[in-house]
Amino acid sequence: MARTDILPSLGLGTFRLKGQEAFDSVTSALKLGYRLIDTAQMYGNEEDVGRAIRESGIPRDEIFITTKVWWDRLRHDDLIASLEESNRKLGVEQVDLALIHWPSPNDEVPIAEYIGALNEARGRGLATRIGVSNFTVAQIDEALAAPGGDQIVTNQVEVHPFLANRRVVDHCQRQGMVVTGYMPLAVGKVMDEPVLKEIAADHDATPAQVALAWVASRDIVVIPSSTKPSHQEANLKALNIELSADEIQRIDKLDAGERIANPDFAPEWDA
């Protein structure tokens, strides 16, 4: 399973959740036993996430909070200010993990500048750990070589049965980094996939649970987003599913390079 000494193996993603919906989703997840909550400045829900965490009654040191700095705030001073703002909105002194949400488009801001600033933010106590998101193999290597790059613990990237993202996942893991996989359910597409349905039937599970089990079997932290407590509970139970080597191989064959998160400012992806 994923490196639970660095990140819990499964968390709650909060992309697209705002207001009361974000508050309710985090509240129910924490009640069910989730201890990793993933948010970002760009999501516009840090205040709602923070309120749910405070009102949960769970000690702060038992909850792992990840947030991310958007690509338009990567200059040194702005990055520091962004994390200070995130902490204020979340109502915490520091987050457990601060990520660069996307690399600077067209390298407008040098990787060394914002990795250095991110590590400085860590040194100032704004975050306990630092990492990146949506970085390619070449960008990972550049980030690791930058001052402060030795502190990077994870690369958060899109991973699901239709996008195994093997090159970057394998590279990061060889470097000793944890990989965090977002959109592990391919925005619901996994529910209609025949192979996943067949395997799910054999495990008395759902296709979504099988997809999560497959991602987790690759030693990747999974952060599915869900607003329904029943789905959140099912996602937690997915980590108990043990897929056979044959089942994993069948799911491996579903990889078609189908990328969902691919904005116009995305880097040039690894094949």
Average pLDDT taken over every residue of the chain: 97
Rounded distance between C-alpha atoms, residue 243 and residue 205, angstroms = 12
Question: Which residues lie across from 142 on neighbouring strands?
Answer: none
Work out the percent of the chain whose per-residue pLDDT is above 70: 99
**Does the 12-181 domain belong in CATH 3.20.20.100?**
yes
| DSSP 8-state symbol, 198 | H
The Cα–Cα gap between 160 and 181 comes to 8
Chain centre to alpha carbon of residue 40? 10
132-141 average pLDDT score: 98
pTM metric for this prediction? 0.97
Tens-digit pLDDT profile for residues 221-243: 999 999 999 999 999 999 999 99
Contact status, residue 175 vs residue 149, Cβ threshold 8 Å: no
What is the β-pairing status of strands 178-182 and 64-69? Answer: unpaired
| Residues annotated as catalytic (active site), given as ranges | 43
Domain ranges of the chain: 12-181
